[in-house]
Amino acid sequence: MKTKTSLLILLTALGAIITPLYADAATTPDAPDPNQEFTLTGAGATFPFPLIDLWRVEYNNVYDNVNLNYQSIGSGGGIKQHIEKTVNFAASDKPMSEAERDLAPGTLHIPESIGGVVIVYNLPEVPNKGLKLTADAIAGIFLGEITRWNDPAITAENPGLNLPDKEIVTAHRSDGSGTTFIFTDYLTVISPTWDEQIGKGKSVPWPLGLAAAGNEGVAAIVKSTEYSIGYVELAYAFQTSMSYASIQNAEKSAFIEPSLDSISAASSGVADTLPAAEDSWVGVSLVNAPGSDSYPIASFTYLLVYDDLKSVTNNKEQAKAVIHLIYWMITDGQEFSSSLLYVPLADKVTELGKQGLSKVTYDGETLWNYEVDASTDLGIPQWIRDNAKWWSEGLITDQDYINGLQYLIQQGILKV
């Protein structure tokens, strides 16, 4: 009895200490003031638009006084509006260049999701997802060096397919596009000719082909034009039931179908090398990533937000609503990613985003008091924090908590 009484006194003291620490770790930005109506504006990438549009709906289901107006105008347009400070935040699949960062000092890059760019085609003779393409074949097609579907560079890898003697029609984006940046980043990596003659960018001088704005525009060309080929974000191909190719991996050991698993494989291990939100993200790339299961055309997509929101919001309360929305997107909102074939962020990437958001102010005034994830600080294991929280809320008994403390004492972790 004496031992139990002593431990109860100890657990009360520990609960008083550990529970506030747990609460600090769980701190979130203040929710939008329920007594005010907020309309938040964003613009930019079409690549994540299906996910952002779903977030718009789901967030409003929880916070019905907040409405998001996001214009899917391409990464180039989003960066332009961000620089001109006409939106609360922007989205881009391409990290801002150093020149763009100079025009928008104080910009933070907050990764919002990971997606894939797929090669879509319209071949009446070929079943859905039946086509296999090497890196050389893809580069040759978009350079105009491979002009017919029965070219040996294509038929050699597709012996079982009825590839017709038909002219290839290529489709590409007409607007400044992060999807174009990702695709041309890949072409630059796998083709010296493309690197020398065309290069990578949101817009490039395409050697040939039909052009349209947005992922939806390229998808429309391919769907309506027999013997065409183009590139779109995976969700667009999935939602519209388009045919898409499997692409040879970087090791040239297999043809990889775009999927959550293969795109996730391309991003594995990258989190430890990523820059802080306030630093330059130029050079961050997931294309042609190593690994036998890695899909070769994958990328982060980013939210761009200023570290002081006074110039792009009406008041402090609206600024706090912006921070809360973005926080929700990179935390709770990630549960909606997989349904649209986006890869949810790894915990370490989410933590980078949280730390970035903690730096955002309104006229120099801090909006969210958060430094680091406290579960990685102070040497207190997460399971101890969980038990302290559950005990403090009455979800576990005193005896359960005592058992945990006794284990700590036995292991020499806690000394009495």
Q: What is the pLDDT of residues 45-92, one digit of tens each?
A: 988 999 999 999 999 999 999 999 999 998 999 999 999 999 999 999
The architecture (CATH level 2) of 38-113+299-366 comes to: 3-Layer(aba) Sandwich (3.40)
Is residue 387 predicted with pLDDT exceeding 60? yes
Residue-wise pLDDT for 166-194, tens only, equals 999 999 999 888 899 999 999 999 999 99
The mean per-residue pLDDT over the stretch 220-244 comes to 92
Both tokens of 132, joined, read 């296999």
Q: Within 10 Å of residue 156's Cβ, how many Cβ atoms? A: 11
pLDDT at 267: 86
Both tokens of 217, joined, read 């525009």
pLDDT at 376: 40
Both tokens of 302, joined, read 């980013």
Q: Are 161 and 125 a contacting pair, CB within 8 Å?
A: yes
The mean per-residue pLDDT over the stretch 265-282 comes to 89
Task: Tell me the pLDDT band of 332, cut-offs 50, 70 and 90.
Answer: very high
Exposed/middle/buried for residue 132 (C-beta within 10 Å: 0-12, 13-18, 19+)? buried
Q: Are 13 and 308 a contacting pair, CB within 8 Å?
A: no
Interacting residues of 331 by C-beta distance below 8 A, sequence separation 6+: 28, 350, 354
Question: Which of 112, 102, 108, 113 lies closest to 277, judged by CA?
Answer: 108
Q: Are 271 and 303 a contacting pair, CB within 8 Å?
A: no
Q: Within 10 Å of residue 179's Cβ, how many Cβ atoms? A: 31
Q: Are 187 and 231 a contacting pair, CB within 8 Å?
A: no
Is residue 382 predicted with pLDDT exceeding 70? no
Q: Are 25 and 373 a contacting pair, CB within 8 Å?
A: yes
| Domain segments of the chain as ranges | 2-26+374-410, 38-113+299-366, 116-270
CA-based torsion, 171, 249, 189, 166: positive or negative: negative
Question: Which of 123, 371, 95 lies closest to 226, judged by CA?
Answer: 123
> 């989410």: which residue's tokens?
350
Q: Are 32 and 367 a contacting pair, CB within 8 Å?
A: no
Q: What is the pTM of this model?
A: 0.74
When the pLDDT of each residue in the chain is averaged and rounded to a whole number, the result is 88
pLDDT at 195: 97
pLDDT at 253: 95
Exposed/middle/buried for residue 83 (C-beta within 10 Å: 0-12, 13-18, 19+)? middle
Both tokens of 186, joined, read 């890949």
Q: Give the strand pairing for 246-248 and 361-362.
A: unpaired
Is residue 265 predicted with pLDDT exceeding 80? yes
Residue-wise pLDDT for 333-356, tens only, equals 999 999 998 999 989 999 999 999
Q: What is d(CA 256, CA 249) in angstroms, rounded to the nearest whole number? A: 6
Q: What is d(CA 289, CA 267) in angstroms, rounded to the nearest whole number? A: 8
Q: Are 233 and 179 a contacting pair, CB within 8 Å?
A: yes
Hey, which bits of 96-207 come out as E strands?
107-122, 132-133, 169-173
Question: Which of 259, 328, 333, 325 lies closest to 294, judged by CA?
Answer: 259
Task: For residue 199, give Cα distances in angstroms to 125, 170, 194.
Answer: 33, 18, 6
CATH fold for the domain made of 116-270: D-Maltodextrin-Binding Protein; domain 2 (3.40.190)
pLDDT at 410: 66
Interacting residues of 300 by C-beta distance below 8 A, sequence separation 6+: 93, 111, 113, 114, 267, 284, 286
Q: What is d(CA 89, CA 114) in angstroms, rounded to the nearest whole number? A: 19
Query: Phi-psi category of 27—alpha, beta or left, where left has phi over 0 and alpha has psi -120 to 50?
Result: beta
Same fold, 38-113+299-366 and 116-270: yes
